[in-house]
Structures are given as structure tokens and as C-alpha cells.
Amino acid sequence: MSDTLLALDGLTKAYPGVIANDDVSFSIGVGEVHALLGENGAGKSTLVKMIYGLVKPDAGKMTLHGDAYAPGRPSEARSLGVAMVFQHFSLFEALDVAENIALGMENPPKRRELAARIREVSNAYGLPLDPGRLVGELSAGERQRVEIIRCLLQNPRLLIMDEPTSVLTPQEVDILFGTLRKLSAEGTAILYISHKLDEIRALCDAATVLRRGKVVGTCVPRETTARDMAELMVGSTLHTPERRSTASEDVLLELRKVSLPAATPFGTSLHDISLSVHAGEVMGIGGVAGNGQDEFLSVLSGESLLAPGHIWVAGDDIGAQPPQTRRGIGVLAAPEERLGHAAAPDMSLVENALLTGSVRQKLAPNGFVNWSATRVFAEKVIADYDVRTPNADVAARALSGGNLQKFVIGREILQAPRVLVVNQPTWGVDAAAAASIRQALLDLAEQGAAVIVISQDLDELMEIADRFAALNGGRLTDPRPTQGLTIDEIGLMMGGAHDMEVAHAAQ
Amino acid sequence: MAGISIELLLASLMVAATPILFAALGEMVVEKSGVLNLGVEGMMITGAICGFAVAVETGSPTLGFIGAALGGAGLSLIFAFLTQVLLSNQVATGLALTLFGLGFSALIGQGYVGIKPPATPDINFGAVSDIPFIGPVLLSHDVLVYLAIAMTAGVWAFLKFTRAGLILRAVGESHDAAHALGYKVVLIRSAAIVFGGALAGLGGAYVSLVRVPQWTEGMTAGAGWIALALVVFGAWRPWRVLLGAYLFGGITVLQLNLQAAGVRVPVELLSISPYLVTILVLVIMSSDRRRVAMNAPAALGRVFHASS
Amino acid sequence: MIRLEKRPMPSRLWTVLTPIVAVLGTMVAGGLMFALLGKDPFEAIRTIFYDPLFNDQFAAYSRPQLLVKAGPLILIAIGLSLGFRAGVWNIGAEGQYIIGALCGAGVGLALYPSESFLVLPLMVAVGALGGWAWAMIPAVLKTRFNTNEILVSLLLVYVAEQLLASASLGLLRNPDGGGFPGSRNFQQWEAAANPELISGTGMHWGVVAAFIAVIGAYTMLSKHMLGFQIRLTGSAPRAARFAGVNPVRLVLICLGLSGALAGMAGLFEVTGPAGQISIDFGSGYGFTAIIVAFLGRLHPIGILLAGLLMALTYIGGELSQFMLGVPAAAIQAFQGMLLFFLLAVDVLSNYRVRIGKPGVA
């Protein structure tokens, strides 16, 4: 492990207004599992893009096995033995597994040969795959396997993994770690990017911590406590929200056998979801991405309409009511995708305040918009939720992810909802802002609202939810109190590693 | 129906289908790469006049068709530059291409009204073409009729079997993913656009040099739009696009023959029948949303800007 | 190396400047085209842009033509712009214009020779209805069967042109016209005529309607919830559904409104400047209005100005044809060029151009 594989020396990359990476130096040994740790926006992604040849550094240099290394394109990086498993955006849903893998290789063998190799390698590493299946039909975990196999077929010397476990159940994480340890033992170095400290402690030999684009420390994860690493990463002590259960006996929201066919070829359909949420309760909905979270939110927000009789709010049948009617009743929602769904990117914050506020805040009586009242509302959201923006006329897309999320959540909470549904409320938000959003959700429940939090961050759900249920293939498990729930039980609720058997059966 | 020969009908069907087949194949490749070019009509009419002018000036139909392909490709380069480099709206730019093409072709065509172009000879298949029925229907055409069929096969094989075809489909499916893997999205799309322009130009020249053959303003009369509809009809598959083109060619030829034969159906109804049938077919093909979503390239019409 | 960088917010300055830059660019490129045609480019540009308004000899005749030509362009473009903003692409306004004229004229002729003052208003209403109904075909097919409205609305233009030819040769032909194609002349029938309201200005009821449409669209887009929904749908369709916009309703409204306005424009044209239904009644206004809508940045005031400018190129084009022998097709190409330039410089309002070493591989 003493041989250095990749050394970074003074890498710097600036974008207008931000320095994404500032004089970053560290090195990775042969066969080493090296963690790159940092919050969202700390510069991890930019750094790995430079290593992978997607972005050119402004300054600094890299060496690979002692030779100068400056990949101009990803294909160059791949041919030198650097491979990468992406967090998002690198698979083609309408193409099959073999085609997807061929696209990521420099000189793919003939189709039949490639299919055989995929079967062989994927089985050897415990990640079975059927080369003929369309990627769009695969689960998130299986898709990741496609990316990993794509890399492994090229015998990489360095494998970069960007937040690989965010799409996996706990059981699938164990399988992945087994694979990574095997690779490491065979001499493949792994650069493992994450902000999940327990994983890093379980897997990695060394860690480099980034904050605001700079290296702020290095450590040996096994010998460092999670708390110490967290403080290194965030730069201050963390505030955990106060938790007190305020659930009452009254059922405020009730879903009765909600089913919804998939809207798109690769979408998820919902099956027979029944759920009661009490006033003052925070209901946590977990599950791996793509198991029906968006669809679940859409039946509650009114974007997908059902036949009458399936959704009730305090005696009102709202299942067939459009979004604005539901807002009138007090059912509000904040979708996961902030830009383009929860907010219109090119419109100002004032206009975005009108987007969901028009009914409940009475901003457009008799159809004509009262822009001054709308502005007052927008400015109140900005002030109350500490949204960092020059003014309310700024376009939504100009805000950072965290600030826009605060605006979106604040916009809904300030309308005093009786039922609030949020999907991934703290995704991509820095730790301090995440804590304040969670606190706001708890406060809302305390005032008697029913709050549903859909999240893929299990720690978050355990922290704020009273009860927990998981979405799995469009079905919802029976909810269970979060108190005393173990990680294994949660994993099983999320579906365990059952798609492994599917993949086996498909062979 | 007296006076209408089935043999002649089928033979002229192939001729009528050829221009839209060229244009639709080209557009299909463009759409497969994720770009919607609504300027097919403009590129066709430009090809029609370029081909006509070159053929008349040089006396060579072959050079005419080459000129047509270059003309169509040239116009499509403007589209490629605007949509791929300057990130303009594809719908608006395509319309601009059509509006400009119509004016531009009329301008060039001023001196060519009423002239007869050099004839494009039919291929001599020798004795084989004496086979009854098959000979006159299938073997009595010029080389472009067969080139269009060969193109269909070529495009099919390209998309299905070659790596370049795979990359093209991947770019049309998700430009972000393709970019992340290091593929040059803009370059690949521009190449597809130029190919589409060249084929549209060929199709246009086939109208002015063979099918009509003379030059009149706006003579493509919506063929470009029908080609666009054929791509939807064909569900982005080459052989089904060919089938659609031949069906459409059949309707066109049939209604012309019925008009000539003086059938007791209003002439207007016959003249609008190709357009009505196209609309009807579009309705049938697109009513199954899931199937359309399955077949259409996922990134169709979306603007790509590499932000990272 | 030049690269583009997305602006955090669209630039207000460039939004206003781009049409001006586009016009200037078109003048240069158009001048080049005229030079290639063997005409003096400066004289050609002057004949198109300056003479129709200020030439001592012709201006008196051509100045009123400005409003005559701009009226239908603005009326149609306003309707189109609402749809374009919402991502609903009605490009068959030419067909709706023709059908509106046919329906309105048909109803009018059925009442001939009534002298009731209600004839013209009735014809206007039926004209709007005809255009609306013609636009409802793509609208219903889109909402019911998911059919692409671009192709359907465009293909229906060819159908409308056939119907126009048929009507002017048959159903609506002037019985007293000695067998010549074309309908009765509405200008000669007072109850149905759409006359010049103020002598020497070119102002007729269609121009009045265009101005009302500009004001109405402006008010709706900036003050009314429907306008907000239209803008929202165009800018972020998914957010619009989340906000509770009913996409089906919006498609019906946008296509219906643009169809009705185009139909009305057709009716005002047939009862006014054109005078009668004839085979060549379809003037291309429906297509030019697309350019007007974009040139006006889909903004009502912008469309007003763009409509006037485009009218100027029409009149100037005719003038240059007459004076310099510039072919009519050159003007059409010139207008197409204008749209190209506009789309090309449009990038400046949403992106910043950076010159320097590339940061993106």
C-alpha cells in the first residue's frame, strides 16, 4: 500500500463567483480505499471531474504512477485506468445493459462476447446482471451495478465512486462493500466520495476532508470518531433538532387503497396504499429512490387525480380535487425537484410565491393578481426562513440549492398547512440549513399539522419522524414507530436486497 | 375506376413516395440524435431549386442531385449553428428555416420558371425488366428510387449495428449522460442535422427533377411537413418510415388518378385527402402515449448546454 | 476560445436590445443579398425602410398602408404569442385566417343584400368563431389524442387553401360576376364593408381590434392569473401542473384564442383591404405573424412595434420591386433572415459570452 497511485498537487478550479477547489493536494496508494469527505457544495464533484477529465483545472498538476497525468477527455482517463461510477446522469434508460456498458468502453468487444463478459464479471463480483434488459426497467441498485461493471470490464487501477450508497438499501450496501473490499485486495484503488461517516469508517483506509473547496484535514477513519469527522467537515458543532412527540389521537389525513398507474414507460405505479396520519404527527416515508416517492407526492398534491373516496382530510374527500382546491383545504406539498417543479427557475421569487400561495394567501381575488400583497408574502418567506438573496425580484435559478429549498419549505409552512407533504426536504442543503428546516417541520407538527416527510436519508427520518414506513416498488409497508427500530428492520422494510434474486432469476 | 392501371399506379407510387422517404429518413436520424428540425420543408424546397439550377446549368442530373444535397445541407448548417452553438429554440429555428427556404428558393428560381430540366434516365435492367408486372412496377425506375430504399437499409443497419449508431441513439436519449461519458454532443448532433439536410435536399430535387419535372415556387407543397409526420408514423424506425412513405405515395397517386378519371367525388376532397389522411394517421399513432414515449428519443427537442 | 455561460437571470437590457441588433444585422446581410442581385444595397435598404414613410412622392400613398398591413399581423401575432409562451405551437394561423374569412363572408353573403347595421358585427363574430373552430381541431386532437399540434395545425393550412379555392370558384362565387372566380365585393356593400375609418390613415376596424388585443394581452399577461399561468406553463411545465394549472384547459384556451384572433383578422381583411374572397386571398400573414411574434419577444408592446416594422418591409418590398426591380421573393427571404438573426442574438439575453481559456473540456 505504500506505492502511490495518484497524486494531486495544488489543484485549483474557479467558476465565476466561486472557487470550487483551492490548492487541493493529496495522494492515493495502490489498492487503497480513500475517502473524499465533505458537505454538499464542498467541491468534491468538481475535484473528481478533474481527475476524470471532464473539467480542466485552472492550476496544479496530477501524477499517475509517477507520470504526469492531465486527461483532456474522459476517454483518455479511462484508457489510463481511471474509471468512475456516477451519482446521476450516466445511463440511458431506453438502451439495454450491454449497450450502456459498451458506450462507456473505448473498444468494446462484439456484442455476444461482451454479454458473456458482463455475465462472467458481474457474477464474479457478486453483482449479477442480465445484459439484455433495458436499463429503464432496473432498480436504482441494479443501475449502479451496470455502472460498476462497466468500469470493472476495463480493469481500472483507480475506481471513483460518487455517493454510491444513496440509492441502496442497507443490505445492498453490505454487498457493495464486499465487492469494493475484494477489488481493493486485488490492487484496485478506490476513491470513495461520501458524506456518510459510518460508511467511511467501515470501509476506508484514509480520508481527505474538503470544506469550501479546501483540504481542511486528513485522518484514518477507523481511528477517528464520527463526531470528530463531522466537525471537521462542517466546521462547527452540530445542532440536533429538539424532538418531542406531539401526535394526537385524531386522524387528519387518510389514504384508502390508493393506486396509480405509471405515467411514463419507466415510471413507478402505486399499489393499494393505505395510511392514516394523525394531527401533530410526523410520518416518515423511506425507500430507495425511484420506488414511487414522486408519485406518492403527486397523488397528495393533486397533480395526479384519483377517483373520489381514496383520500380524506378531516372528513373532506379530496382524492379527485385539483391542487388549488386542496390548497384551499390546507393540504400543501413541497416536491423534491426544486428547480422546475417546486419553483419555476426563470421566474422571480415574487412570482414563485404566487405559484402556490395564490389561493391560501388570497393573492389573486377575482382573477387579478395583487402583486404588492404577493411581494409582501415573498419577502416574509425570505425574512422568516433566512433565504440569502439580494431581493425578491431575483430569479429562482439564481439562488443556491439550500437557499431555494428554504424558500420552498418556508413558502408552504407560512401558509399554515393542516397537512404538509415534503419530499427530500434537506437534499443538497448544508448541515446548518438542514437542521433549521427539520426544526421548522417539527414546529409545524407541534402546532397540530400532519406532516409527511419523504426522504432517502434514514438518519433524518429517525431523527424527526414519529412513525416510519417504506415505499418499495410502489407499495407502502405498514408504518412502525421509529423508536426502537433497528437498521436491519428498516432495510427489510425497504425491500432488503431482494432484487438480487430477480437478477439471478433473469439469467 | 376504369382507365386506372394497377401496374402504373404501383409504379408511380414508388416515384411519389421517394421524395418524402428521403426527407423522412433524414429527419428520423436528426430526431434520433435528440434534435427536432421543423425546417424540412425549407430544406426540401432549397434542395429542389439548387438541384434544378445545377442540373440545368451543367446538363447533368447527377451533379444536380449532388448540388441539391449540398444545398439542403448548407441550409441545415444554419440550423445546426443556431440550435447547437447559440442554443436557440428548435421549434422557432425550424420554422425560420422553412420561411427563409421558401423565400430563398423563389429568389434563385426566378430565372428557371418554365424550363425543362435534363431527364434523369431509368436504370436499364435488361431482360429482367420484361417480367410481367414486376418489371414495370419495380424495375422501371431511376437510380434514386433504389437509392432511397438502399438508404433505408443503410440507416437501419447504421442505427442497429454500428457503434456510431449506438452513440447517436445515446445522445438522443440523454445528452447529459452522453456528455458525462465524454461524447461530443454538439458535434454529433450537428453531423446528424447536416445529414438530415442533405437527404431533405435530395428529396426536394427529386420533386423538381423527376416527379414534376420543372420548377415552380413552393412546389414541395407541404411534403416536408408530411415527412415530419411520417417519422412519427414510423415510430422512429426506418422500415416503418418506408412503409409510411409508400402508403402516402399510394394515396397521392390514387387521388390524382381518380381526379384524372373524373370520379364523382369533389376534386377538393381528393386534393385534401393526403393531408387529412396524414392527420388521421398522426392521431392514431400518437394516441397511445406510452408507446410514443417508448419510441421517441427521450431528449428530443431539449436544449443542451454543458454546464459542468 | 469563446464559450457561453448561463446568466443567473435573463438580462433585461439584452431582451430589449436583441431585436434592434437583429434588425441591423439583417440590414447588413440583406444589403449583401441585394448587392449580389445587382442592386445598390444602400438604395434598396432606403427604399424598404425609409421611402414608404418619408419619400415625398410615395409616402402619401404608402404611409396608410402601414396600418393596413400591420393590423392583421399584430392581431394574429398577439394570439400566437400567448400559445408560444405556454409552449403551445399553433403555426397554422394562415389556415385559421382563411377559414375565419370564409365563414364570416359566407354568413354575410347569405344575408345579402340586407342593410342592417348588424351585418358586419355578425360577420366578425362568425369569422372569429370560424378561426376558433379551425384551431380547435389541433387543440382537441392534442388534448384528446396527444397529437402534435404543430403538424396538425400546419397541415390544415393546405386543407384551408383548398377550401378557399373551392369556395371562390363555387359556393361563394359572385352570381353577378360573369363567371369570374371570387365573391361579391364587400367594399361595395355598405352594411358589410370594413372601411377606412379616418381618411388617409389606413385605420380600419381590424386595426382597432389589433390595438385592443395588444392592450388586452398586456393586461392579461401582467395582471391576471390566466396570464401568469400561461407564462408559468411555458417557463416550467412541471411547476405549472404543481401550481394547479390544467394543461388541457390551457391548450384549448391558447389555441382557441389564437384561432379566433386569426379568424377575425381574416374577416377584417376580406371585408376591408382585400374586398372579396378570391383564390389568392391567403396572403401569408399567418406565417409572417410568427416572425412578428418572435421579433416582438412574445411581448404585446414588442409585437405592436414588430408588426409595424414587418408591415414596413412589406410595403418597402413592394416599393423596391416597383422602383428597383427587386424580386418579391427577396423580401420573403429578407424576412426569414430577420428571424434567423433574432434567434441568433437571442442567446445574449440568457447567456453571457466569455472569451478566454476554456474551463469545460
Q: What is the pLDDT of residues C233-242, one digit of tens each?
A: 988 999 999 9
Provide the domain limits for residue C56.
48-326
Q: Are residues A161 and A308 in the same domain?
A: no
Provide the domain limits for residue A346.
251-505
Of C155, C347, C360, Cβ closest to residue B222: C155
Q: What is the pLDDT of residues A95-104, one digit of tens each?
A: 999 999 999 8
Contact B172, B196 (CB under 8 A): no
Judge whether A88 lies within some domain. yes
Contact A423, A298 (CB under 8 A): no
CATH number of the domain bearing residue B273: 1.10.3470
Residue C2 pLDDT: 67
Tell me whether A327 touches chain C (CB under 8 Å): yes
| Segment C92-109 mean pLDDT | 93
Q: What is the pLDDT of residues C12-56, one digit of tens each?
A: 788 888 888 988 999 999 889 888 888 888 988 888 888 888 888
**C356 pLDDT tier (thresholds 50, 70, 90):** low
Residue A233 pLDDT: 77
Closest residue, chain B, to C346 (C-alpha): B88
| pLDDT for residue A36 is more than 80 | yes
User: Closest approach of chain B CAs to the CA of A20, in angstroms?
Assistant: 12
Mutate to test the interface with C, among B279, B281, B305, B308 (most CBs of C within 10 A): B279
Judge whether B304 lies within some domain. no
Q: Are residues A336 and A388 in the same domain?
A: yes
Judge whether C11 lies within some domain. no
Judge whether C202 lies within some domain. yes
Q: Are residues A263 and A226 in the same domain?
A: no
DSSP A232: H
Judge whether A240 lies within some domain. no
**A88 pLDDT tier (thresholds 50, 70, 90):** low
**C361 pLDDT tier (thresholds 50, 70, 90):** very low
Judge whether B301 lies within some domain. no
User: Closest approach of chain A CAs to the CA of B152, in angstroms?
Assistant: 22
Q: What is the pLDDT of residues A325-346, one digit of tens each?
A: 999 999 999 999 888 899 998 8
Work out how many domains chain B is built from and give that number. 1
Q: Are residues A208 and A173 in the same domain?
A: yes
Chain B residues in contact with A91 by the CB 8 A cut-off are 174, 177
Q: Are residues A260 and A226 in the same domain?
A: no
Chain C residues in contact with B271 by the CB 8 A cut-off are 162
Work out how many domains chain C is built from and give that number. 1
Residue A237 pLDDT: 56
Judge whether A117 lies within some domain. yes
Adjacent-strand bridge partners of A8:
A26, A62
| pLDDT for residue C339 is more than 60 | yes
Chains that touch C (3 or more CB pairs under 8 A): A, B
Of C9, C225, C242, Cβ closest to residue A394: C9
Of C5, C246, C361, Cβ closest to residue A55: C361
Q: In whole angstroms, give the CA distance from residue A200 to residue A228.
A: 13
Of A93, A99, A102, Cβ closest to residue B298: A93
Q: Are residues A258 and A304 in the same domain?
A: yes
Does the predicted TM-score (pTM) go above 0.80? Answer: yes
Contact call for B104 and C141, based on CB within 8 A: no
**A240 pLDDT tier (thresholds 50, 70, 90):** low
Contact call for A94 and B173, based on CB within 8 A: yes
Contact C311, C65 (CB under 8 A): yes
Q: What is the pLDDT of residues A108-129, one digit of tens each?
A: 888 899 999 999 988 888 888 8
Q: Are residues A164 and A269 in the same domain?
A: no
Closest residue, chain B, to A266 (C-alpha): B294
Judge whether C353 lies within some domain. no
Contact call for C238 and A364, based on CB within 8 A: no
Q: Are residues A228 and A291 in the same domain?
A: no
Radius of gyration of chain C (CA): 21
Residue A501 pLDDT: 39
Task: Decide the pairing of beta strands A4-15 and A158-162.
Answer: unpaired
Q: In whole angstroms, give the CA distance from residue B292 to residue B299.
A: 13
Provide the domain limits for residue B207.
6-295
Judge whether C256 lies within some domain. yes
Q: In whole angstroms, give the CA distance from residue B167 to residue C48.
A: 48
Contact call for C224 and A303, based on CB within 8 A: no
Judge whether B76 lies within some domain. yes
Contact call for C244 and A302, based on CB within 8 A: yes
Q: What is the pLDDT of residues B231-279, one digit of tens each?
A: 988 889 999 999 999 998 998 888 888 888 877 777 888 888 889 988 9
Q: Are residues A220 and A275 in the same domain?
A: no
Of A90, A95, A265, Cβ closest to residue B180: A90
Judge whether B222 lies within some domain. yes
Q: What are φ and ψ of residue A392, in 5° steps? A: -80, -5
Of A72, A335, A346, Cβ closest to residue C361: A72
**A279 pLDDT tier (thresholds 50, 70, 90):** very high
CATH number of the domain bearing residue C58: 1.10.3470
Residue B307 pLDDT: 56
Q: Are residues A190 and A290 in the same domain?
A: no
Q: Are residues A349 and A455 in the same domain?
A: yes
Contact A91, A42 (CB under 8 A): no
| Segment A177-181 mean pLDDT | 91
ipTM over the 0.90 cut-off: no
Q: In whole angstroms, give the CA distance from residue C161 to residue B180.
A: 49
Q: In whole angstroms, give the CA distance from residue C189 to residue C206.
A: 18
Judge whether A239 lies within some domain. no
Interface residues on C facing A, Cβ-Cβ cutoff 8 A: 5, 8-10, 223-226, 228, 231-232, 235-236, 238-244, 246, 358-361
Judge whether B303 lies within some domain. no
Tell me whether C47 touches chain B (CB under 8 Å): no
Of A322, A340, A369, Cβ closest to residue C239: A340
CATH number of the domain bearing residue A210: 3.40.50.300
Judge whether A45 lies within some domain. yes
Chain B residues in contact with C332 by the CB 8 A cut-off are 99, 102-103, 106-107
Contact A181, A133 (CB under 8 A): no
Size of interface A-B (CB pairs under 8 A): 57
DSSP A8: E
Rounded to 5°, the CA angle A277-A279-A269 comes to 25
Alpha-helical runs (H) found in A390-465: 401-413, 431-446, 458-464
Work out how many domains chain A is built from and give that number. 2
Tell me whether A103 touches chain B (CB under 8 Å): yes
Tell me how far CA of residue A75 lies from CA of A11, B3, C315, C360, in angstroms: 21, 65, 57, 15
Contact call for C151 and B305, based on CB within 8 A: no
